[in-house]
Amino acid sequence: MNKIFRKRINIRRREQFNRKLALQVIFSILLVSAVIATKNMNSDLSRKIINAADEKMNASIKILEIRDTITEVAASARNKLPFISKKTQSVPVVGTVYRKYGINKTGEESFYNHGIDIKSETQSVKSITEGKVISIGNNENLSGYIVVQNHDKTFIYGKIKEPFVKEGDTISQGDIIGALDEENMILHIEVWEDGASINPLEFLDLKN
């Protein structure tokens, strides 16, 4: 088992754990909702539901942690909405845009961003579309990068810590193509067509 394969397995295990934890939270919320819905019903039934809810909560996660999780989800829901696609495009990561396409300001200085920068909650990076890997490298602006060609559009994935593909590979939409730096999970994405950059959010037709 090579290093890249082990790395990919570890990333998937962490993401599976996070999904399992989220399902436990949702299940507990549904049980609490059932208690509220039956508060005017038979008291024995209410007590049974309450006991079931208590057992599930104690077995999976503390009530305080559920409260904190719900608060965090509610606070970040609006920021995560841009990554709900109207189309069938694969979302590269789960996260929020912190540096937009176009003119950005840093203090008194301005610069033009030909893509978007995303603060990611997942280390693995998925391909937005199918295509062919035409370049993998490293430079001062993008750090590690992967370039994928899809017909007349070119997709550039920057800030890649470790690529899981090589030049010449044909990839499918949703394939995991690399991993971000675990200590600085920022993904930079650019989309180019006919020598001009395109706002990735417009291309992906994502909600604002």
Helix H or strand E encompassing 66: helix 63-80
Higher pLDDT: 17 or 125? It is: 125
Q: What pLDDT band is residue 11 in, cutting at 50, 70 and 90? A: low
- Which pLDDT does position 72 carry in this prediction? 54
The torsion angles phi and psi of 65, rounded to 5 degrees, stand at -65, -35
The winner for highest mean pLDDT among 20-29, 42-51, 102-111 is: 102-111
Q: What pLDDT band is residue 109 in, cutting at 50, 70 and 90? A: confident
Q: Which residues contact 70 (CB under 8 A, 6 or more apart)?
A: 25, 29
Strand order in the sheet with 160-163: 124-126, 176-180, 160-163
Over residues 192-207, the mean pLDDT reads: 79
Q: Are 123 and 182 in contact (CB under 8 A)?
A: yes
Q: What's the mean per-residue pLDDT of the chain? A: 75
Q: Are 121 and 95 in contact (CB under 8 A)?
A: yes
- State the CB neighbour count (10 A cutoff) for residue 32: 17
H-helix segments, 95-144: none
pTM over 0.85: no
Q: pLDDT tens digits for 134-184?
A: 999 999 989 999 999 999 999 999 999 999 999 999 999 999 999 999 999
For 60-94, b/e burial (b = at least 16 CB within 10 A) is bbeeeebeebeeeeeeeeeeeebbeeeeebbbbbe
